[in-house]
Amino acid sequence: MNVLDFNETLLAVETNDEDLLRMILSKTDISFDARIDDVYLEKWTLLEFALMLDHRQCAEELLRSGATIDVESCPPERRLQQIQGNIELITEEIRFLRTINIQNEDKQIEYLEKRLLQMKKMKTVLENTIVPGPLANVEAVVSASDQLTVSWKDIRQRSKDLVVNYKVEWSLCDDFNSIEGSLLVNTVMKNYAVISELKHGLRYSVRVSAASIGGFGNPIPAEPQSLLLSIFPKIEIIGKKKKRSIKTLFAGSFRSHKVMQRGIYLVSIIYSEMKVCTVEEYLPIILVDQTQFCIEKDEMYWAIKLSLAWDEMQTLQKANNSISSNSHFRSRFIDAAIQMHNVLGVKDIGRVHYQPIVDEVNSVSFIVTVRLINGSQTAQGLTTRWLPLNKIVRKRGSCQSMDLLRAEIFKIINFFESSHIRLRRGL
């Protein structure tokens, strides 16, 4: 970035001109870690300068473009000392210039007075800044044999001061008397973090806090209170006894439903680490019954039990065809499950979640199966792809029912992982 571009960028931040800043950022390669080339601003980056001026629009634009700030390395007290030192220095220089007669004195004094006003405003902003409030919906799931993933609700819109950092901490104690480790999430555009290289077989607790330029707020423990890193099951391939890679796991030309109409649908969440198998970048979804959307409890319990015996699907289908008294729902569900088996090419499409996900407004119900596969290679096929789980969760479209389903994915996976944790011995 040349001097002219830098001066334009600095001017945009000083005047809180979001449109000008966005235009410059779209055309210019800016080093966000670089300090401002000005004698009184050289201690700070553009993002720090925008935050201390309380120019929120420009600060948000810089954050969206990849700028970061570590509030722990420079707490508000230290920033106030830097600002106060500049105020005293500028005041003394203005007084000196007014006692002597030099060329361009007025321009220099005008520049210094501008900086003095900025310093006083920055001091006021820092003195009145507050830390963010508590995060909401902090949840953790086991995402690999040595890995946890924690997510939380974005609070940037309702926070008085702009959120610039998230801190994730983990401990072997649920009261966090000792901290095993921590990581800083500088990219506030994402509301999740992956904790890797954890010790297998141990139980971990996680908590998350948000930070403004004023520091970190109170940490909020994730739900559930603790998670045990356990062994993942091995995958079995239909019609094959030998091991195969996940690259050859899925095949076919199945097209998943993207817009839901009234009815009951079968959804399979087959995931590996932090990736999920998709069909044309959507979760694999098969229509079970379009004539109804309410599922009786007995039928739901039957589906849950059926998910423990996927190997017997062909036998069950033959038996179902020979018994006229079997319910219409069960017959359609078996057909949908077999179709899902064929599409994904696996015997076990997972355990049925204990309750359906229901969109009463649009009369849509989802029966969800969940399966964890130990591996992270990308699947090769005409329509199937492994995509980051977070991308699927955050995806939004024109279908309200799909948005509702996506919003429940982490909770569904969390329940699935928790259900595999053995209870301690006792009554």
Q: What is the DSSP letter of 297?
A: H
Which residues, 6+ apart, have CB-to-CB distance to 309 below 8 Å?
A: 316
- Residue 360: the pLDDT is 76
* Radius of gyration for the chain, computed over Cα atoms and rounded to the nearest angstrom: 28
E strands, 196-262, where?
A: 203-212, 215-216, 220-221, 227-228
Evaluate whether 138 touches 150 at the Cβ level (below 8 Å).
Answer: yes
**Where in the chain are all domains bearing CATH 1.25.40?**
3-128
Write the CA distances from 405 to 223, 282, 347, integer angstroms. Answer: 20, 12, 24
Q: 362 φ, ψ to 5°?
A: -100, 10
**Residue 81's CB: how many other CB atoms inside 10 A?**
10
Q: Which residues contact 160 (CB under 8 A, 6 or more apart)?
A: 130
Q: What's the residue count for the chain?
A: 427
Question: C-alpha angle with apex 206: 212 to 77, nearest 5 degrees?
Answer: 25
Ramachandran area for residue 239 (φ above 0: left; ψ -120 to 50: alpha; else beta): left
pLDDT value of position 399:
80
Q: Tell me which of 2.40.160, 1.25.40, 2.40.128, 1.10.3470 is the CATH number of domain 3-128.
A: 1.25.40
Q: Are strands 275-279 and 263-272 parallel, antiparallel or unpaired?
A: antiparallel
For the chain, residues classed under CATH 2.60.40.10 are 139-228
Could you list the pLDDT tens digit for every one of the 427 residues in the chain? 556 667 788 899 999 998 898 888 878 777 888 888 888 888 999 999 999 999 999 998 888 888 888 888 888 999 999 999 999 999 999 888 888 876 667 888 999 999 999 999 999 999 998 888 888 888 888 877 788 888 887 666 566 778 888 999 999 998 899 999 999 888 776 778 888 888 888 899 999 999 999 899 999 999 988 888 864 444 443 444 444 444 444 444 445 556 678 889 999 999 887 788 887 788 899 999 888 888 888 899 999 999 988 888 777 776 666 554 456 888 889 988 988 888 887 878 999 999 999 987 778 899 999 998 865 444 444 466 788 887 887 777 778 888 888 888 888 988 888 887 766 666 6
List where CATH 3.90.79 sits in the chain. Answer: 246-418
Residue range 139-228, CATH number: 2.60.40.10
CA dihedral for 218, 219, 223, 226, sign (positive or negative): negative
Strands (E) in 138-202, as ranges, are: 139-144, 147-151, 165-171, 181-185, 192-195
Amino acid at 109: I
Contacts 24+ apart (CB under 8 A), 420-427: 420/230, 421/227, 421/228, 421/230, 422/228
| Count of CB atoms situated within 10 Å of the CB of 221 | 18
Burial category of 46 from C-beta neighbours within 10 Å (exposed 0-12, middle 13-18, buried 19 and up) = buried
Asked if 148 contacts 155 with a C-beta cutoff of 8 angstroms, the reply is no
The class level of CATH for 246-418 reads: alpha beta
DSSP 8-state symbol, 324: T
What's the pLDDT score for residue 159?
A: 61
Q: Report which residue type is found at 227.
A: L
Helix (H) or strand (E) holding 392: helix 389-394
Contact present, 310 and 349 (Cβ < 8 Å):
yes
Distance CA 338, CA 299 (A): 17
| CB distance 216 to 73 below 8 Å | no
CB contact at 8 A, 358 and 364: yes
